[in-house]
Structure 1
């Protein structure tokens, strides 16, 4: 995508977030015509965010279920960037007023122990596994800015950093159970609100990390040591409407909590 157009689109996104404007499709001539264009805009938008939210510390992978991909009219996941100032520890408090519309996604996060090389062929779950040294329960904070899902443009979603607005992490574990079979359960003020398994994330969370590594390689970059990958949600997104405490428990891995005000 032409650099000036991508920069203008990124500045439009920044202004819309500051104004708490509802999510909308980025219109021509600056809007993305392709998914690649969308990532060009995302790169520039994230660069604008770094002054306030810090450097890149990881990534999120979204649309990891066939149902959500079909809903959005694509056949692959999407990625966004996680910035240092948006990383929270378990027990953190967040305010709905700080988001256009806050959503919570209940996920498995992984951490890289060493840099991944840029390679020509796609990464696989088996190939990326030796590079992962930690796994934990996590909650992603997403901001869909009250998007109209009936007319959702996934390219504009990607440009908007795939709605990444923060992550809440439990402690990483160096040992983990079978992640394909591991059950995860979410609760609100102690009452169950949903559940899923690691296999609900592209069959296995490492498949999600492998997809991301391949996507980054296609753009000439790669995952780095210490970076975190939010691999995707095991259940549907929850949109809090009032103050409440949320917990996500992964069997054999622990739990993560966030308080919404």
Structure 2
């Protein structure tokens, strides 16, 4: 692994980039030997300092779980990051675009856990049993590392490119709706831009929750009751700017909308 001082320095660079809404050069361009384990270590140092500063953890995001996203990024391995309370917006929110870098929107389902979920042998059925309810959501992507040539290492270190989450008002238990067939019709300024169905995420969106529980088990950790798990996009990311209005129709799961100012 990279030396601890290098990991700490890179985490500090990313924290500064977040605070100043800036960008840093690719980690893999400067440290080609960096591994996925290094990238999660960098993310972990950044996370722990944010928690120490008083930010509250509300859940986890999973990324790169669909072929649409893997093809859009050229990265084939899922990843995960953390979500803080101050990054969650209600549907209809007016969101300052300038607080993010390289702003894009993804269509996802979020799942709130009613009980802890642990690996290493967690199955889809186990994860479905642990889910209290599903919520339609939009993820706001926010990249602090230069985009050209990014690898999975760069993306993970940058908290899996997570910037924020817009949550809808509809709540459905897993037995109330066929989660595989939840649609997403994504509009920008009234024009449809992307479509997809939730089965695009690993053939069932809750499969990502099981994947994350098994991933955590390798570090002696588990997902906790009450956590929100953002399961990954089933459309390609859509670029947005200040002045754009975004709306997504989730069919039986209702709609989620926001405006960037």
Q: Do they fold alike, i.e. is TM over 0.5?
A: yes
- Offset of residue 23 of structure 1: 4.5
- Offset of residue 232 of structure 1: 1.0
- Taking a change above 3 Å as real, the CA distance of residues 9 and 174 of structure 1, as seen in their structure-2 partners, is same
Q: Is the 8 A contact 2:248 2:257 kept in 1?
A: yes
Over the aligned positions, Cα root-mean-square deviation in angstroms equals: 2.3
Mapped pair 1:203 → 2:203: yes
- Taking a change above 3 Å as real, the CA distance of residues 142 and 70 of structure 1, as seen in their structure-2 partners, is closer
Aligned pair count reads 258
| Residue number in structure 2 paired with 1:109 | 110
| In structure 2, distance between residues paired with 1:102 and 1:51 | 27
- Offset of residue 18 of structure 1: 2.9
- 3-state secondary structure, aligned to 1:232: coil
Aligned ranges for residues 43-58 of structure 1 at < 5 Å? 43-50=44-51, 54-58=55-59
| Residue number in structure 2 paired with 1:228 | 228
Q: Is the 8 A contact 2:188 2:245 kept in 1?
A: yes
- Offset of residue 32 of structure 1: 6.8
| Residue number in structure 2 paired with 1:15 | 16
Deviating beyond 6 angstroms after TM superposition, the runs of 4 or more aligned structure 1 residues are 28-32
- Taking a change above 3 Å as real, the CA distance of residues 233 and 27 of structure 1, as seen in their structure-2 partners, is closer
Aligned ranges for residues 1-261 of structure 1 at < 5 Å? 1=1, 2-26=3-27, 33-50=34-51, 54-66=55-67, 68-69=69-70, 74-117=75-118, 119-121=119-121, 123-145=122-144, 147-149=146-148, 151-175=149-173, 176-261=176-261
Q: Is the 8 A contact 2:120 2:213 kept in 1?
A: no
| In structure 2, distance between residues paired with 1:71 and 1:191 | 21
Which moved further from structure 2: 211-220 or 130-139? 211-220
Which moved further from structure 2: 79-88 or 61-70? 61-70
Q: What TM-score, normalized by structure 1, do the two folds share?
A: 0.90
- Offset of residue 224 of structure 1: 0.7
- Offset of residue 205 of structure 1: 0.4
| In structure 2, distance between residues paired with 1:185 and 1:255 | 9
Which moved further from structure 2: 168-177 or 233-242? 168-177
- Offset of residue 174 of structure 1: 3.4
- 3-state secondary structure, aligned to 1:212: helix
Per-residue deviation, residues 154-188 of structure 1 (Å, max 9, x unmatched): 20210110111111101251334211122111112
Q: What TM-score, normalized by structure 2, do the two folds share?
A: 0.90
- Stretches of structure 2 that go unaligned for 5 or more consecutive residues are none
- Offset of residue 72 of structure 1: 5.2
- Offset of residue 245 of structure 1: 1.6
- Taking a change above 3 Å as real, the CA distance of residues 29 and 184 of structure 1, as seen in their structure-2 partners, is closer
| In structure 1, distance between residues paired with 2:33 and 2:163 | 21
Q: Is the 8 A contact 2:61 2:232 kept in 1?
A: yes
